[in-house]
Chains A and B, each alone.
Chain A
Amino acid sequence: MPARNQKQWMADPNLQRGEWVDSRIYSDPEIFEEELEKIFKKTWIPVCHESELSEPYDFRTTTIAREPVIVARGPDNTVRAFLNVCPHRGMMIERRPAGSFLEGQPSGNPKRMTCMFHAWQFDMKGNCVYISREKEGYQDRLCKENTGLRRLRCEVAMGGFVWVCLDDKPECSLEEWAGKPFDCIRESIDAEPLEVFHYHKAIINTNYKLWHDTNSEFYHDFMHYHNRVTGFNDEYFARKNIGFEHGHVNVTSFEVNYDEYEGFESREELSFPKFPPNQWFMIDLFPGMNFNLRGSALRCDIMTPLGPNKVMIEFRGLGVKADTPEERQTRIEHHNSIWGPFGRNLHEDLIGVTGQGATMNDGSEPRRILHGRHEDNYIHDEVGLRHYYDEWGKWMDRLPSDPMQKYTAPAVAAE
């Protein structure tokens, strides 16, 4: 194939609509803002794991679509979520990333969230419990009963993750949203309490959807040199992509032969409860989370889009809470040898997606990003990407292959 002139380069590829997307969906600032409004403020987002706030009065702060969010465990052990915004004059109430309210703050009291600006205080249920010089300033016009926090929908589910939805009336319940794609590992991750043992985060110059793509497609095996030279067998290629309602995808399991990985050992002994030895399941949730259970360790990526070409990814590794110290150590080694910052895959994935980010700037001429591989839904089939982008088009009411047009179903139906 000869190189192409500008006109040829810009022409539609010889594929059906739905088999490519236009790169402006990764770089256009207006589209990005719209994604926050139409997708991230409307869907269920896992913000952390319940083991990261294991004691009453523990809390964590985060953001969803730039809105500051705090999750806190109450004295009744229930985890609740609130906007981390003071009802008085809008200050961010809690500025620590995580901690406990059990000890008082300099301007507050034990067991309360305190806004340090004018010392208003709130309990773990979001009630306003103290307004400084309340009667003097508000007489009988405004009182604590009117100034509670903004509570958010929050559920602990699917292995103990804490899910928050900014919308009081989400399109569907969390169970309807994510239940089916979790079926493949639900028994194992819900059998007993889990615990986060690994956390790191990275802020990467790429679009969040591009990271999600690398989590969903296996065609980039060709980049993962170590996987390619050691890990492959027929079963590896016999896995399938399965699409679910709402844009979610599963990659089915196979038995990994760790003996064939140089320096690796079987993970059988520390398999997750009720999980067949050395299996490996993957769940890609719309709009950008990934759950990956490889025998003895669960990995979870949660993406927070920061800009069209900037994403924060939080990586967590989880094991069984009841682990002995020795078991935990082995589990950590299993996790890190694949997924740690110096593992087999992660750094290579990061090179891939930042390379894409580097070519897609605001104002770059639109590029066609091809998702047209068909291989009977096996892992090098790009069906998972097609499924995801069709869902994206529906939420955005934009056509992924020509985002300035309204959404219409693609010629090739999303599988």
Chain B
Amino acid sequence: MSWKRVCSASEVAEKSLKQFDVEGVPVLIANLGDEFRAYPPLCPHMEERLEESGICEAGVLTCSKHLWQWDMRTGEMRGEAEKPLLLYEVKQDNGDVLVNIEKELEYEYDEETDDDDDSFWD
């Protein structure tokens, strides 16, 4: 893939987040006022949809579940966060927001360990 149109700039209000589907890839668009950013849609902590749990304030994105925070421009960790945010490249063209999707970005969540062996019950 490559540069794709996601939405028109007016669809995402200032200081807010909105999730879009770009040919099967879910993308979260943030409107910082002067710029846009694009992230994978889930919180890197525990798969929460940031569109619902995220709060944008003063250039900082806070997931309201467990208060992980990031710099919205760079994705760098702030506060409680233990993993940075991943970003897609974004540009604006003629009132549209475009993202550069080489491949879908996803976080790795902790693998659940398996204890399915008989010695478990000893």
- Chain B binds chain A: yes
User: Which residues of A line the B interface, CB within 8 A?
Assistant: 74-75, 78, 104, 109-112, 121, 123-125, 127, 129-130, 132, 151, 153, 168-169
With a cutoff of 8 Å between Cβ atoms, the chain B residues found around residue A130 in the complex are 46, 66
Across the interface, do A111 and B47 meet the contact criterion of CB distance under 8 Å?
A: yes
- Give chain B interface residues in 85-118, CB to chain A under 8 Å: 110, 112-116
Across the interface, do A104 and B112 meet the contact criterion of CB distance under 8 Å?
A: no
A145 to chain B, nearest CB (A): 10
With contacts A78-B116, A153-B121 taken as known, whether A110 is within 8 angstroms of B48 at the C-beta atoms is yes
What residue in chain A is nearest B48 (Cβ atoms)? A109
With contacts A124-B112, A125-B114 taken as known, whether A151 is within 8 angstroms of B120 at the C-beta atoms is yes
Interface bin, chain B: 10 to 19
Interface of A is mostly: loop
With a cutoff of 8 Å between Cβ atoms, the chain A residues found around residue B47 in the complex are 109-111
- Give chain B interface residues in 9-57, CB to chain A under 8 Å: 45-49
Would you mind naming 12 contact pairs between A and B with Cβ atoms under 8 Å apart?
A104-B49, A110-B48, A111-B47, A112-B46, A124-B112, A125-B114, A129-B46, A130-B46, A151-B115, A151-B120, A153-B121, A168-B121
With a cutoff of 8 Å between Cβ atoms, the chain B residues found around residue A129 in the complex are 46, 110
Instruction: List the 5 closest A-B pairs by CB distance, nearest first.
Output: A109-B46, A125-B112, A168-B121, A123-B112, A110-B47
Q: In whole angstroms, what is the CA distance A74 to B113 when docked?
A: 12
With a cutoff of 8 Å between Cβ atoms, the chain A residues found around residue B116 in the complex are 78
With contacts A123-B112, A124-B112, A125-B112 taken as known, whether A169 is within 8 angstroms of B46 at the C-beta atoms is no
With a cutoff of 8 Å between Cβ atoms, the chain B residues found around residue A125 in the complex are 112-115
Q: In whole angstroms, what is the CA distance A18 to B99 when docked?
A: 81
With a cutoff of 8 Å between Cβ atoms, the chain B residues found around residue A78 in the complex are 116
A386 to chain B, nearest CB (A): 34
With contacts A109-B46, A110-B48, A111-B47 taken as known, whether A127 is within 8 angstroms of B112 at the C-beta atoms is yes
Q: In whole angstroms, what is the CA distance A111 to B47 when docked?
A: 8
Q: A112-B46, A124-B112 are in contact. List 8 more A-B contacts (CB 8 A).
A: A75-B112, A109-B48, A110-B46, A111-B47, A127-B113, A129-B46, A130-B66, A132-B66
Across the interface, do B112 and A109 meet the contact criterion of CB distance under 8 Å?
A: no
With a cutoff of 8 Å between Cβ atoms, the chain A residues found around residue B66 in the complex are 130, 132
Q: In whole angstroms, what is the CA distance A379 to B110 when docked?
A: 58
Q: In whole angstroms, what is the CA distance A130 to B120 when docked?
A: 23
